[in-house]
Amino acid sequence: MNRDGLFSLVYFLILALHIYAGEQHYEMIATVSKPAILSSLIIYFVLNLLKNRKGFFGILILAGLCFSLLGDVLLIFQEVPIYFTLGLGSFLVAHIFYIVAFTKTYLKNHEISLIKKYGWVMLLIAAYAWFFFNAIRDFLGSMIGPVLVYTMVISLMLLIALNRFRKVSTSSFVWIALGAFFFVASDSLLAWNKFVRDLDHAHLLIMLTYGLAQYGIARGAVVQLRDVSSKSISTQS
């Protein structure tokens, strides 16, 4: 088993442990294992960042992962309103780092951007954001402003992730696009469960999609780091 395979096994074992503990209400295990999910991902990413070409793209992705970890820790205490707000803010910052990162280190800058070529994609994402926000807005109370801003930012994150189409390698594009889709799904489930009504197996649904989201973004970023490193080596030789 190579290093990527070993990492994936460890990551999904930690994720599975956390989901199981949450579903079975083993609070202590769930609390300890939650930050371990992103911590393992950060370790994996740092190792690849050190091995491959260092650059602004990698630093931005790492910052997004670190702010996501902070958000995870804060949301452990989300029953206290201020911690939920701070957690939301941490993820908001993480998405901003991801957005900037997804515009960096394109390998094929000559390609027409997906936003210009397939305008319906932007309309589809905007329509989903608008319909979802309107479906939950009456339940938000004082959180209507922060949730509106967060909805706009995460929707932009998904759009910019898709805009990498044909500007980077297929593997990197697919991983990050899937990660962005799962992030929107996870946060949609989280918002519905918190503000509208309790979902059956909410912890399973939210954390599974969240785990897949962060894994997809990190894995796609590692592929891009390796692609850029390989391109740099081939250019020098």
Instruction: Note the pLDDT of residue 229.
Output: 75
Q: What are phi and psi of 106, to 5 degrees?
A: -65, 140
pLDDT beyond 50 at 43? yes
CA trace torsion 110, 114, 115, 121 (10° rounding): 180
Instruction: Note the pLDDT of residue 113.
Output: 83
pLDDT one-digit tens code per residue, 107-150: 767 777 888 888 899 999 999 999 999 999 999 999 999 999 99
The Cα-based distances of 148 to 35, 94, 127, 134 in angstroms read: 26, 16, 14, 10
Higher-pLDDT residue of 79 and 85 is 85
The percent of residues in the chain predicted with pLDDT above 70, rounded, is 95
pLDDT beyond 90 at 169? yes
pTM: 0.93
CB 227 within 8 A of CB 38: no
Confidence of residue 53 (pLDDT cuts 50, 70, 90): low
pLDDT beyond 90 at 228? no
pLDDT beyond 80 at 183? yes
Instruction: Note the pLDDT of residue 54.
Output: 62
Average pLDDT over residues 154-167: 95
pLDDT beyond 60 at 233? no
Q: What is the average pLDDT score of the chain?
A: 92
The percent of residues in the chain predicted with pLDDT above 90, rounded, is 81
Instruction: Note the pLDDT of residue 231.
Output: 66
Q: How far apart are CA 112 and CA 110, in angstroms?
A: 7
210: nearest Cα among 94, 45, 83: 94
